[in-house]
Amino acid sequence: MSGERWRIIEGECVEELERWDPDSVDSIVTDPPYGIGFMGKGWDCSVPGDAFARAALRVLKPGGHLVAFAATRTVHRLAVALEDAGFELRDQIAWLQWQGFPKSLDVSKAIDSAAGAEREVVGTRVVPDQRGGGISSERTVETGGVSTRVVSITTPTTTEAKQWEGWGTALKPAYEPAILARKPLIGTVAANVLEHGTGALNIDGCRFGYGDQAWPGPGENITGDQDRANGKDRINTDKYGKANPHINRASDLGRWPANIYQCPKPSRGERTEDNNHPTVKPVRLMRWLVRLVTPPGGLCVDPFAGSGTTGIAATQEGVRFIGVEREAGYCQIARARIVGDAPLFNRAGGG
């Protein structure tokens, strides 16, 4: 990178990665297309396949990790491509965000519609507008710029529709999975780490601090967690507060990092005003992932850079970054966001 701390390259990622030296990248952290045709975007027509997996494997150092997000419905396709290329599938990480909108068909309404039966309107309600596309006559904007729409509340008409009232076709999407994969080691973990600086996870650097909302699970005991967070010592107790020597004492460094991470979707301020990319990830989530798999001073790559969130995360974590993005508009957004959010680094490095 000729001394640059970060760079966004406009181009197709497989073609670009094939130009790079083999065994030259410390980590890959990316949010590739999910292959579900999100909002009708052409770039989301398929999941990255064998060619991407082989190119990613080639450029990673032995033991280098890859973290790649996917949809719950298509994660298996990405997993198979990575495994077939030679990656070891180490785990899946679930990003819990709770904010997805269920795209469910109302079966009762569908039955009445098929029968040509008109339903009685008994009221209205306001719901988040996550349809995308053009402006609807039903669409409103609440205070704070949240897009909503007003929908009618109706009652079923036909006997069959009454029977199937309350049935739908989809659950609320509350998490997104990410595959954690590793390029095979050369020798033992210890030998590989010493030779290449890769092959291990930054456990202590990614622990959940007591009280950190990124950990959604229970604690050993709530009072004890609060005491430890305030620097106080406390004997191990069960959930009822009774001393229990069989409960492992929690580390003063925090909880062992789990394969789940909870945080909301990015706010409009975090996305930045001119960012029209539809699938932006939170910076704090991407920082945690970059820190987990990238050695200090290492090179982290995002082959599907989008609007540059991984680049912001990498520069804030103090590691070098290269992002590849085929859409010129997103490249401009990514460069602007990284420059604006990473002032500690040489701003000339975004060329």
Domain extent, residue 43, equals 6-99+173-207+257-350
Determine the pLDDT at residue 245: 52
Q: What is the CATH number of the domain that holds 193?
A: 3.40.50.150
Same-domain pairing of 184 and 117: no
Determine the pLDDT at residue 317: 97
The pLDDT of 292-297, averaged and rounded, is: 97
CB–CB of 59/193 below 8 Å? no
Residue type, 258: A
**Number of structural domains found in the chain:** 2
CB neighbours of residue 123 within 10 Å: 9
* Residue 10 placed within a domain: yes
Put simply, whether the predicted model's pTM sits higher than 0.75 gets the answer yes
Determine the pLDDT at residue 274: 75
Determine the pLDDT at residue 272: 81
Please tell me the least confidently modeled range out of 158-172, 206-220, 270-284.
Answer: 270-284
Same-domain pairing of 196 and 150: no
206-243 confidence digits (pLDDT tens):
999 998 999 999 875 544 555 555 554 444 555 555 55
Count how many Cα atoms sit within 13 Å of the Cα of residue 36 in the half-sphere of its side chain. 13
Give yes or no for residue 133 having a pLDDT over 90. Answer: no
Determine the pLDDT at residue 35: 85
* Residue 338 placed within a domain: yes
Angle at 254 between CA 248 and CA 255, to 5 degrees: 60
Same-domain pairing of 189 and 278: yes
* Residue 242 placed within a domain: no
The pLDDT of 142-168, averaged and rounded, is: 84
* 3-state class (DSSP) for residue 50: helix
* Residue 31 placed within a domain: yes
Determine the pLDDT at residue 135: 31
Write down how long the chain is: 351
* Residue 20 placed within a domain: yes
Q: Which two tokens stand for residue 351?
A: 């060329």
Determine the pLDDT at residue 99: 87
Same-domain pairing of 43 and 192: yes
Give the span between the Cα atoms of 120 and 254, in whole angstroms. Answer: 56
The pLDDT of 281-305, averaged and rounded, is: 97
* Residue 122 placed within a domain: yes
Same-domain pairing of 150 and 294: no
Determine the pLDDT at residue 248: 53
